[in-house]
């Protein structure tokens, strides 16, 4: 991977792909956040800088394949097997987590 900067655009050479990443200062990013989100929604990646140093990346979420509900429930049931609360009431654990 090779990274090159041209003005406010970073070019990232990854495998056989070139990814252009736009940089923007934190103050301007705050001011134009809605616009930046629209650009990210279209697939762009944006690096937010603080005094010229990259500190964050706005990027589209990677798509994950939806899993069938039945498969997830079966995994939860398998995980639950053999696990016990050893006499502790579930209500006590819930109450403890809230405090």
Segments making up each domain of the chain, as ranges: 2-58, 69-98
pLDDT 10s digits, 45-65: 888 989 988 899 898 888 778
pLDDT 10s digits, 16-28: 666 667 888 899 8
CA separation for the pair 8, 52 (Å, rounded): 10
Q: Are β-strands 9-14 and 2-6 bridged in parallel, bridged antiparallel, or unpaired? A: antiparallel
CA separation for the pair 23, 99 (Å, rounded): 43
CA separation for the pair 99, 97 (Å, rounded): 6
pLDDT tier, 75 (very low <50, low <70, confident <90, very high otherwise): very high
Rg of the chain over Cα atoms, rounded to whole angstroms, equals 23
Pick the CATH number of 2-58 from 3.40.1620, 1.10.3470, 1.10.8, 3.30.70: 3.40.1620
Which of the two residues, 69 and 22, has the higher pLDDT score? 69
Quote the pTM value.
0.51
Q: Is the pLDDT of residue 1 over 50?
A: no
Residue 60 · residue 41 · CB < 8 Å: yes
């Amino acid at each position: 991977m090779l990274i090159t900067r041209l003005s406010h655009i970073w070019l990232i050479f990854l495998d056989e792909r070139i990814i252009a990443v736009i940089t923007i200062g934190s103050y301007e990013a705050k001011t134009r956040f809605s616009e930046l989100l629209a650009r990210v929604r279209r697939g762009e990646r944006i690096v937010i800088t603080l005094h010229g140093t990259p500190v964050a990346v706005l990027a589209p979420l990677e798509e994950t394949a939806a899993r069938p509900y039945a498969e997830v429930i079966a995994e939860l049931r398998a995980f639950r097997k053999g696990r016990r609360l050893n006499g502790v009431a579930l209500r006590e654990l819930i109450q403890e987590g809230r405090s």
